[in-house]
Amino acid sequence: MPLDSDQLLHAYRQMKTIRLFEERLHDEIKTGEIGGFTHLYAGQEAVAVGICMQLTTEDKIVSTHRGHGHCIAKGCDVIGMMKEIYGRAGGLCKGRAGSMHIADLDVGMLGANGIVGGGAPQAVGAALAARIDGKGRVGVAFSGDGACNQGTTFEAMNLAVVTKAPAIFVFENNHYSEHTGDAYAVGTADDIASRAEAFGMRAWRADGCDFFSTYDAFAELLEHVRGGNGPAAIELDTERYFGHFEGDPQRYRGKGELDRIRAERDCLTAFREKVRMEGSVTHAALDQVDEDVAALIDDAVAQARADAEPDPANVADDVYADYF
Amino acid sequence: MAIMNIREAIVATLHAEMERDPDILLLGEDVVGGNGTAGGPEAIGGIWGTSPGLWAKFGPERVIDTPISESAIIGAAAGAALSGKRPVAELMFADFVGVSLDQIWNQMAKFRYMFGGKARCPAVVRLVYGAGMQTAAQHSQSVYAMLTAMPGLKVVLPTTPADAKGLLTEALRGDDPVMFFEHKTLYGVKGEVPDGDHRQRFGEARVVREGGDATIVACGRMVNFSEKAADKLAVDGIGVDLLDLRTTSPLDEDAILESVEQTGRLIVVDESPPRCSLAADIAAMVTERAFTSLKAPPAMVTAPHSPVPFARSLERAWVPSPQKIEDAVRRVLAFPGRSGQ
Ligand SMILES: Cc1ncc(C[n+]2csc(CCOP(=O)(O)OP(=O)(O)O)c2C)c(N)n1
Ligand SMILES: [Mg+2]
């Protein structure tokens, strides 16, 4: 069923929010106010949004170190996220997580993860839990082309197959794990999905820089998994616009590579082009979204900067549910 | 003598030792960098800059970029070591020991013993550790205590460029698995490094200063913090013996005991939570072996019993600070205090 104009506007708004959130962070990090590691998701927005907008709050996702996009697409509060990344008391995780560990259990976002490959088994657990609950919910693991080489990912895929868990493995192939290319590090570089097939599940392949390609493929996949057919996987061919982390000199990039992917592989441009051709949403409406989102991000940064740092007296709170 | 920082000392030692011994190989994530990209290999030489030039000089059979697969990295090092090589395996962050723990814990640590003393496992695992850069709960831990607790592993923590060279050389010439901890905030620390062959024996603490009023035992970044505290105390005429352990396994018990027998006061500084920590281990050892010399209970300056937080204000509260060390020394010196006297 084709998306109606509200759904299209929602998708565009989400992708634009991720893009501006990340571009703004790229600038703000230079001020020195944000510490630690920040891995930006810009370039991959169509994946997070094309997938998460088809999930309900009760479906669970587990994310990666590059988690801002997954968070926003799953419905995390953008202002709470910004405060978290700034290490503020009002952050989604009270300033304990920072960029790398943001989570919001209330919206089914089980956490960004600092351990590459740490998430995939947890998605299987979420899927097994969902099956017991019997409401047709799923567990989704986002993994990169780097994470697809971890033993945990292999074990998770096999566990999901043998238990027929409603688990979904999303492989975002942006062609790099840090400074190493997938052509070197992944034995099946041009086809990560084939690994999932080898474990015994169906796999889909789509263009992760094209919202519609991602959306349509995932819609089929989701029907398959919600239909009780066990786990499935999808590989998305996508691009990362910034460095691995902020501050990465990116010496591994080819000449003109960044300009080319920005010019030719931009999910937002492609989206605008497609809806213009189809006449499904007016460009005026999209421009309005652009304005609204820019204001939201300005507000998020202003609120984050104004928020207090966490009280050091609370450093050892929340380690346990109860202890003594 | 050359002046260099810890990073440069490690790079120079790897070059020199790989030159000397063709059995040494290096493997880890992005230790070359750029493989399989348009930019080509050696784009980075390790994200901490500790392996540049090695791939160009020693080639892809001895300098191996790996996929993100820590179990396989450490396991391959274990197997290569059992097969007569001397692998250096890099864990980009010590926290990833969690991913590879079986290969360290159940495998390389135990080969020699289980196999009746016949096996040699000269693998060096380099682990980048420590808080102080807001890298949060999964990239900031100091996991040396847990590895110190495992029989069969040697655990090394250089704090000066000279020791980085001396201890790494020693690790590469020995026949046991060595956990070589590099604190992520110390790479830039500069100092004199002896030219030529320089080996630093394990189990020999470095006497950083002698003052006689109290004994501070520390390792890693906490040595530098203890020096800052000692400077402050010196202003008030308080002199401390400061010992840098250099290695936590083997542990230089004699140096600690000798100092405490003189001062009667022990402060152990440890960048990790207190339970089953290095601080607890040393405090217990001293209490058992030098009880009659003690004029005050040993003090442990540690992090709280919590993971490492992200926010700057919280991370600062988590890491033992020079101020906390100074306070602990004053507290121990004041014992038993007014109420007890
Ligand atoms: C267990 C573990 N090993 C290594 C790292 C360091 N690291 C962080 S991200 C990353 C690359 C991940 O690549 P990929 O899975 O493709 O995700 P991308 O960064 O491209 O989003 C590496 C090696 C880590 N965080 N955890
Ligand atoms: Mg990648």
In angstroms, the Cα distances linking A280 to A188, B209, B316 are: 39, 76, 53
Within a domain: A208: yes
Q: Locate B222 and state its tokens.
A: 């906490």
Could you tell me if B39 and B181 lie in one domain? yes
Cis peptide before B250 (omega within 30 of 0): yes
Within a domain: A323: no
CATH for A31: 3.40.50.970
CA angle B270, B291, B158 (to 5 degrees): 25
The reply to whether residue A100 touches residue B138, judged by beta carbons under 8 angstroms, is yes
Strands B2-5 and B86-91: unpaired
For the segment B27-52, the average pLDDT, to the nearest whole number, is: 96
Could you tell me if B43 and B161 lie in one domain? yes
Q: Locate A167 and state its tokens.
A: 């688990």
Written in H, E and C, the secondary structure of B80-136 is: HHHCCCEEEEEECCHHHHHHHHHHHHHHHCCHHHHCCCCCCCCCEEEEEECCCCCCC
Could you tell me if B218 and B181 lie in one domain? no
d(CA B152, CA B81): 14
Domain coverage including residue B80: 2-193
Of A97, A152, A176, the CB nearest to B310: A97
Within a domain: B232: yes
Which of B166, B193, B220 terminates a domain? The answer is B193
Asked if residue A203 has its Cβ within 6 Å of ligand 1, the reply is: no
- The string of pLDDT tens digits covering residues B151-181 is 999 999 999 999 999 999 999 999 999 999 9
In angstroms, the Cα distances linking A192 to A68, A199, B228 are: 23, 12, 52
Q: How many CB atoms lie within 10 A of CB B43?
A: 21
Q: Does the structure show a pLDDT above 50 at B341? A: no
Domain coverage including residue A293: 5-307
Where is A52: in which H helix or E strand?
helix A45-52
Could you tell me if B182 and B246 lie in one domain? no
The reply to whether residue A310 touches residue B136, judged by beta carbons under 8 angstroms, is no
Interface check for A251 against chain B (CB to CB < 8 A): the answer is yes
Ligand nearest to the CA of A42: 1
Residue whose CA lies nearest to ligand 1 atom number 8? A116
Please state the atom number of ligand 1 nearest to the C-alpha of residue A150: 1
Which chain B residue shows the shortest CA-CA distance from A323?
A: B305
* Residue showing tokens 């994200």: B47
Kindly state the DSSP code that residue B64 receives in the 8-state scheme.
E
Provide the ipTM: 0.96
The reply to whether residue A181 touches residue B136, judged by beta carbons under 8 angstroms, is no
Within a domain: B198: no
Could you tell me if B226 and B292 lie in one domain? yes
CATH for B20: 3.40.50.970
What's the CA dihedral at A154, A157, A161, A162 to 10 degrees?
A: 50
Look up residue B19 and give its amino acid. Answer: E
Q: Point out the residues of B that are catalytic.
A: 139
Q: Locate B164 and state its tokens.
A: 């980085």
Q: What's the gap in Å between A116 CA and the centre of ligand 1?
A: 5
d(CA B263, CA B312): 36
Asked if residue A145 has its Cβ within 6 Å of ligand 1, the reply is: yes
Asked if residue B96 has its Cβ within 6 Å of ligand 1, the reply is: yes
Within a domain: A264: yes
Within a domain: A312: no
Which chain B residue shows the shortest CA-CA distance from A184?
A: B36
First CA to last CA distance, chain B: 52
Where is B179: in which H helix or E strand?
strand B178-183
Which of B193, B227, B256 terminates a domain? The answer is B193
d(CA A317, CA A145): 36
Which residues in chain A touch residue B305, judged by CB atoms under 8 angstroms apart? Answer: 316, 319
Q: Is A116 strand, coil or helix?
A: coil
For the segment B138-154, the average pLDDT, to the nearest whole number, is: 98
Percentage of chain B lying above the pLDDT 70 cut: 99
Q: What's the gap in Å between A65 CA and the centre of ligand 1?
A: 7
Q: Locate B83 and state its tokens.
A: 């097969």
Could you tell me if B131 and B152 lie in one domain? yes
d(CA A242, CA A264): 15
**What is the CA B101 to chain-centroid distance, rounded?**
17
Provide the number of structural domains found in chain B: 2
Could you tell me if B280 and B178 lie in one domain? no
The reply to whether residue A87 touches residue B312, judged by beta carbons under 8 angstroms, is yes
Q: Are B147 and B97 in contact (CB under 8 A)?
A: yes
Q: What's the gap in Å between A263 CA and the centre of ligand 2?
A: 20
Within a domain: B150: yes
Within a domain: B221: yes
Within a domain: B268: yes
* Best of A70, A178, A236 for a ligand 1 pocket test (most atoms within 8 Å of beta carbon): A178
For the segment A95-114, the average pLDDT, to the nearest whole number, is: 98
Cis peptide before B161 (omega within 30 of 0): no
The reply to whether residue B134 touches residue A87, judged by beta carbons under 8 angstroms, is yes
- In angstroms, how far apart are the furthest CA atoms of chain B? 74
For the segment A145-162, the average pLDDT, to the nearest whole number, is: 98
Q: Is B228 strand, coil or helix?
A: helix
d(CA A217, CA A239): 18
Provide the number of structural domains found in chain A: 1
Q: Are A42 and A22 in contact (CB under 8 A)?
A: yes
Cα dihedral sign, B183-B185-B191-B194: positive
Interface check for B36 against chain A (CB to CB < 8 A): the answer is yes
What's the CA dihedral at B87, B88, B93, B99 to 10 degrees?
A: 10
Q: Are B257 and B289 in contact (CB under 8 A)?
A: yes
Q: Are A28 and A34 in contact (CB under 8 A)?
A: yes
The predicted structure's pLDDT at residue B119: 96
The predicted structure's pLDDT at residue A2: 87
For the segment A157-175, the average pLDDT, to the nearest whole number, is: 98
Q: How many CB atoms lie within 10 A of CB B74?
A: 29
Which residues in chain B touch residue A118, judged by CB atoms under 8 angstroms apart? Answer: 138
CA-wise closest residue to A69 among A174, A166, A160, A163: A174
Kindly state the DSSP code that residue A262 receives in the 8-state scheme.
H
Q: Are B222 and B249 in contact (CB under 8 A)?
A: no
CA angle B124, B127, B130 (to 5 degrees): 150
Mutate to test the interface with A, among B74, B141, B308, B310 (most CBs of A within 10 A): B310
Within a domain: A90: yes
Within a domain: A315: no
* Residue showing tokens 């975002």: A172
Q: Is B236 strand, coil or helix?
A: coil
What's the CA dihedral at A191, A192, A193, A195 to 10 degrees?
A: 110
Could you tell me if B6 and B36 lie in one domain? yes
Within a domain: B341: no
Interface check for B337 against chain A (CB to CB < 8 A): the answer is no
CATH for B292: 3.40.50.920
Question: Chain A 190-209, CB below 8 Å of chain B: which residues?
Answer: none
Q: What's the gap in Å between A244 CA and the centre of ligand 1?
A: 9
Within a domain: A275: yes
Could you tell me if B230 and B290 lie in one domain? yes
Please state the atom number of ligand 1 nearest to the C-alpha of residue A174: 20
Q: Locate A267 and state its tokens.
A: 């999910």
**A304 min Cα distance to partner chain B (Å):** 13
Q: How confident is the model at residue B340 (pLDDT cuts 50, 70, 90)?
A: very low
Q: Locate A86 and state its tokens.
A: 């700034």
Q: Can you give the pTM of this predicted structure?
A: 0.97
- The string of pLDDT tens digits covering residues B67-96 is 999 999 999 999 999 999 999 999 999 999
Interface check for A323 against chain B (CB to CB < 8 A): the answer is no
Mutate to test the interface with A, among B31, B37, B275 (most CBs of A within 10 A): B37
CA-wise closest residue to A45 among A71, A19, A79: A19
Within a domain: B201: no
Could you tell me if B55 and B117 lie in one domain? yes
Could you tell me if B31 and B140 lie in one domain? yes
Q: Locate A41 and state its tokens.
A: 């998701």
Q: How confident is the model at residue B338 (pLDDT cuts 50, 70, 90)?
A: low
d(CA B26, CA B35): 15
- The string of pLDDT tens digits covering residues A36-46 is 999 999 999 99
d(CA B165, CA A108): 49
Within a domain: A132: yes
Q: Are A10 and A36 in contact (CB under 8 A)?
A: no
Could you tell me if B142 and B171 lie in one domain? yes
Asked if residue B136 has its Cβ within 6 Å of ligand 1, the reply is: no
Q: Locate A32 and state its tokens.
A: 């020195």
**B22 min Cα distance to partner chain A (Å):** 25
Residue A3, C-beta contacts closer than 8 angstroms, at least 6 positions apart: A11, A215, A280
